[in-house]
Amino acid sequence: MTWLQTLPAWFRRAILRDRAARWNHQYASGRWERLKAPQEAARLDACATLLRRHVPGGRLLEIGCGEALLQQRLASGDFSRFVGVDISAVAIERARVITANDPRVTYLTADMRELELAEKFDAVIFTESIYYVPDPAAVLRRYARLLDPDGVFVVSIFQNKRGAEAWAQIHPVTTVVDRTTTTNAAGSWDCEVLRLR
């Protein structure tokens, strides 16, 4: 049970609604346009390379997908199914417009701590999203249920204090299968392929 689940349901709903409203406001006001800058493409390409290496043509679930920036860095043959989930309905609406013509792709609005899905996946991906929840290890445990027995997590985190705190919670409960670091003028990002211990 996470700290959020210990709260009364009405209070939990109010908190989650507030968080969604904040992200929606930020997307609508253009704050996240910077994620479309060329420097950001490098860290997304690093994740795409790890996905091709470990789950070629796989069933992919991306949590905190924003405006489908990762999916746009993948070739059509890199996945057989792609589900993207984000708390921001504004971001998801934009993702749906970009990817509308591919029947293998679904974009859903949901909070990563509440989402329930019946499908199984070969990889569950968090690119710059897992550190927005207070308990990343609990989130990984939650999504392990949706992974095939051979499935992996792919987690990308920007190098800063907050990122280091997130890895400090993630590493004790995972084994690192592969990793890559991307560095450019905007900073450094670590992308790791992980299995839950």
Ligand X SMILES: C[S@@+](CC[C@H](N)C(=O)[O-])C[C@H]1O[C@@H](n2cnc3c(N)ncnc32)[C@H](O)[C@@H]1O
56 contacts 122 by C-beta, under 8 angstroms: no
Contact status: 154 vs ligand X (CB under 6 A): no
With respect to ligand X, which residue has the nearer C-beta, 64 or 163? 64
Q: For 111-179, give the DSSP string.
A: -TTT------EEEEEEES-GGGSS-HHHHHHHHHTTEEEEEEEEEEEESSHHHHHHHHHHGGGEEEEEE
Give the interface segment with ligand X, choosing from 3-11, 84-92, 95-103, 142-150 (CB under 6 A).
84-92
With respect to ligand X, which residue has the nearer C-beta, 90 or 197? 90
Minimum CB separation from ligand X for residue 149, in Å?
A: 25
| Binding track, positions 103-122, relative to ligand X; x by CB under 6 A | --------xxx---------
DSSP helix/strand/coil, 35: helix
φ, ψ of residue 84 in degrees (nearest 5):
-115, 140
Q: Order of strands, edge to edge, in the sheet holding 147-158?
A: 105-109, 79-86, 58-63, 121-127, 147-158, 187-196, 174-184
β-pair partners for 60 = 82, 123
Of the candidate residues 50, 55, 61, 69, the single one contacting ligand X (CB under 6 A): 69
With respect to ligand X, which residue has the nearer C-beta, 99 or 129? 129
Contact status: 64 vs ligand X (CB under 6 A): yes
Of the candidate residues 48, 58, 66, 99, the single one contacting ligand X (CB under 6 A): 66
Contact positions with ligand X (CB under 6 A) in 35-54:
35
End-to-end CA distance of the chain: 19
Of the candidate residues 61, 65, 138, 170, the single one contacting ligand X (CB under 6 A): 65
Give the interface segment with ligand X, choosing from 49-57, 60-68, 71-79, 165-173 (CB under 6 A).
60-68
- Which parts of this chain interact with ligand X (CB under 6 A)? 23, 35, 64-66, 69, 86-88, 91, 111-113, 127-129, 132-133
